[in-house]
Homo-oligomer: A and B are copies of this chain.
C-alpha cells in the first residue's frame, strides 16, 4: 500500500499546442477553491479565533461541502499550519531579495529576520501554539499532524543553516556546524515563546531581549570560548 503523494506539481503539457501553461479548468477550480478556503478560514480565525471556528463554518463561507475541506487539508490544524508555511516562505524570499539585509553583519541580520517574521505571524498569535509548537514533538506517528509540522521545521532549519554557513564563510563566527544550527533554532524558539508571553506595548520587551541576546551571543562567540 503506497502512501498517497500530495501537493505534487504536474508539468504534463502534452496536449495543448501553443500555450506554455495549460492550467485547465480542473486545476483552476482547485486553486480557486483552495484560495476560497484559506480566505474564509483566515477571516473566521480573525473574527472568532481558531478554537471557536468550526470546520463547518469555514466550509459554508467557502461555499463547499463539509467533506471537501478535508480533501484540501488533512486536519483543521493542517489548515492553520498553511499560514505559517506561507509566512516562513515569505520571510525566506524577503531575505534573499533584500541586499541590504543580506550584507549586514550577523546580529543585525538575525534581528531583522526575527522582527520581520514576528510582524507577519502576529495575526496568528492565538493558534501558533496549537499548531507550530508541535514541531517539538516529532515522534509518535499517532499524531497525524507531525509529518506536516516536521516539514515546516525542516525548512526553517535549512534556512538557518544557510545563514550560518554564510556567516562562517565570512568568518563572522567560528565553524559551528550542525550544532550551531540546532542552537540557533532553539534560540529562535526561545524568542517566539517569550514573544507569546509578552504583553508590553508593541512587544518591545521581546525586541529588547532579542537585541541583548544577540549582543551577548556575539560577545561569547568572539571570545572564542567555544571548545568543549
Contact = CB atoms under 8 A, between A and B. Distances in A.
Interface centre among A126, A129, A134, A226 (most CB of B within 10 A): A129
Contacts of A19: none
B228 A196 contact: no
A190 B189 CA distance: 10
Q: Oligomeric state, in number of copies?
A: 2
A47 interface: no
A193 interface: yes
A200 interface: no
A142 B190 contact: no
Interface string A130-153: 100110111110110000000000
Instruction: State which size class the interface on A falls in.
Output: 35 or more
Contacts of A129: 134, 136-137, 140, 143
Given A219-B228, A228-B215, A228-B219, A196 B143 contact: no
